Structure 1
Amino acid sequence: MTDPAQFDLDAYLLRINQAGDRRPDATTLRDIHLAHVQAIPFENLDALHGTAPSLAPADLMAKMVHSRRGGYCYEHNTLFACALTTLGFRVTRLAARVMVGEANVESRPRTHMALLVEVPGDPQPYLADVGFGTIGALLEPVPLTVGMDFYDAGRRHRLMHVPNPGPLQMWVLEAFSDVMGRGIWQGQYAFTLEPFEQCDFEVINWYIGTSPRSPFTQRLYVHRVTSDKNLLLTGCNLTETHADGTVRERKITDEATARRLLDEAFGITAPETATLLPSSLCPQRS
């Protein structure tokens, strides 16, 4: 059970602009999933400065609900799990191997948190994930069904099975992408249904948030989804992908522009002490 003293459902729903029904059913699950993704950005400002962010519900509320900040997967999905359990859903935390940029499932460690959600009275569980932070991420939860195409708020996903040397069935979330006019399915992450506890993710979070080998300690990574476009700022590179497939890219070369962009486009107020664009990665204009 979520401690009501640490998690405020009313404040959370206000943050994600969700004033709909609070019944624990599939419609509510879809509505708050999409609302969360569109309201709270993905960002790694804490890890960029060598700090593993707190996953305590009270700290997540202070940062992501009461402040103009976002977070990465452990923060997003822990906060979302608090909301779901408060509403009456049953939630199991899953650990996944990220496959973006890598076809070999076994080559990546289990560093991503996803959620398996059970709806009261519904025999079909759902894969939910508000914290993947890529253009191939889920916008709405999808039923845990193999081989079926799902259209979630304009995106297209499916779940497949792949060989697994272990005793449990391995699932892969795939996203459909139109690359140069040729549609392909691309693996996003692989997972089994083995339950992981919050303490497991405390350990994973510490490594990802502090290790010099973690991609999130190396460069700025900020992602936001709106109803008509997808914004991604990685290092100095800003990519804006519109619903019609139009892609615009530009370089961000100074701190002032980066801060203004985070504020105006991503809805993030960066800490005053944070360095967003290290000179080694993003040379300043003279």
Structure 2
Amino acid sequence: MHGSIDLDAYLRRVGWRGSVAADLASLRGLAVTHVAAIPFESLSPLLGLPVPLDTPALERKLVHDGRGGYCFEQNLLFAAVLRTIGFEVSGLIARVLWQHPEDAVTAQTHMLLRVELDGASWLTDVGFGNQVLTGALRLQADVEQPTGHEPFRLVERDGEWRMQSCVRGQWLTLYRFDLRRCEMVDYVVANHYVSTHPASRFPRNLIAARTTADRRLSLLNHEFTVRRLGREPERHRLAGVADIRRVLEEEFLLRLPPGEALDRRLAQLPD
């Protein structure tokens, strides 16, 4: 998971102002600015394109080319940024339970980060789509922790942890995981499954998300949803390719890939 990165270019990309340091304020602040500037998106698997995970490819795509990516891309890039600043970072892997029953058995297809800081462990995750964590959580069980959006908490039972958020008064689980350090080869295998397997949702659907200070934006094929703090979701049906492109560019701030392949694929999206 190691690789150098142009820190100045990254900070310009996310709109960071001022200095950064290996401290909690920078960790939390960078997580917030990252998810507002670099959207979660699935265009590459949707178009049948490879999803490389080496640091130069991630920097080129997410920093210089105006694109986003999904969890492995987002969190590997963020890990490289944090290490460049001086943080001690390790990667974990999780089984997603969002919109699944609590006892569902799902594959290990999600990445999150563990950060050691001043003798304490913290979790951060800039790659969980429309319910992404905005900030960092102390690795401490059964304590409600505020974020810029919903409260979050971690629940631990017999060495297994669950990350939960409180949505409209109900605690919902995002994913479950343990604290064993994950190796890069495991992310490569999971990334191949997520980006190519017929059972994965990413090659079959257009998925995008971006979280700002007061809004969570999400797109699933033709449905564009805006969730404002303390209000009911606003759902908008996008009629055709032109509407989808407009929302991707204006709301998700994406620089779309050139050529006609994207328009053809958008025209084939399921209802």
Fold conserved (TM > 0.5)?
Answer: yes
Q: Equivalent residue of 1:152, what SS? A: coil
Aligned to 1:125: 121
**Paired residue type of 2:149:** G
The CA deviation at 1:106 is 5.2
**Paired residue type of 1:223:** A
Aligned to 1:170: 160
The two structures, once aligned, show a CA RMSD in angstroms of 1.5
Aligned to 2:26: 28
> Structure 2: which 5+ residue stretches go unaligned?
none
The equivalent position to 1:213 in structure 2, one of 178, 196, 199, is 199
The CA deviation at 1:144 is 0.2
Call closer, same or farther: CA 1:279–1:253 in 2, change over 3 Å: farther
Is the 8 Å Cα contact of residues 231 and 239 (structure 1) preserved in structure 2? yes
The equivalent position to 2:65 in structure 1, one of 61, 64, 67, is 67
Matched, 1:187 2:173: yes
Equivalent pairs: percent with the same residue? 35
The CA deviation at 1:212 is 1.0
Matched ranges for 1:20-169 at <5 A: 20-105=18-103, 107-119=105-117, 122-135=118-131, 137-163=132-158, 169=159
Q: Equivalent residue of 1:187, what SS? A: strand
Q: Deviations over 1:155-211 (max 9, x none)?
A: 210000135xxxxx1000000011xxxx11000100100111122111111111011
| TM-score, with structure 2 as normaliser | 0.94
Is the 8 Å Cα contact of residues 122 and 138 (structure 2) preserved in structure 1? yes
> Structure 1: which 5+ residue stretches go unaligned?
164-168
Q: Equivalent residue of 1:196, what SS? A: coil
Q: Deviations over 1:5-62 (max 9, x none)?
A: xx10110111111123322111111111111111110000011122331111111111
CA distance in 2, matches of 1:47, 1:236: 17
Aligned to 1:279: 268
Is the 8 Å Cα contact of residues 66 and 255 (structure 2) preserved in structure 1? yes
Matched, 1:266 2:252: yes
Is the 8 Å Cα contact of residues 160 and 171 (structure 1) preserved in structure 2? yes
Q: Equivalent residue of 2:146, what SS? A: strand
**Paired residue type of 2:36:** Q
**Paired residue type of 2:134:** L
Is the 8 Å Cα contact of residues 97 and 105 (structure 1) preserved in structure 2? no
| TM-score, with structure 1 as normaliser | 0.89
**Paired residue type of 1:176:** C
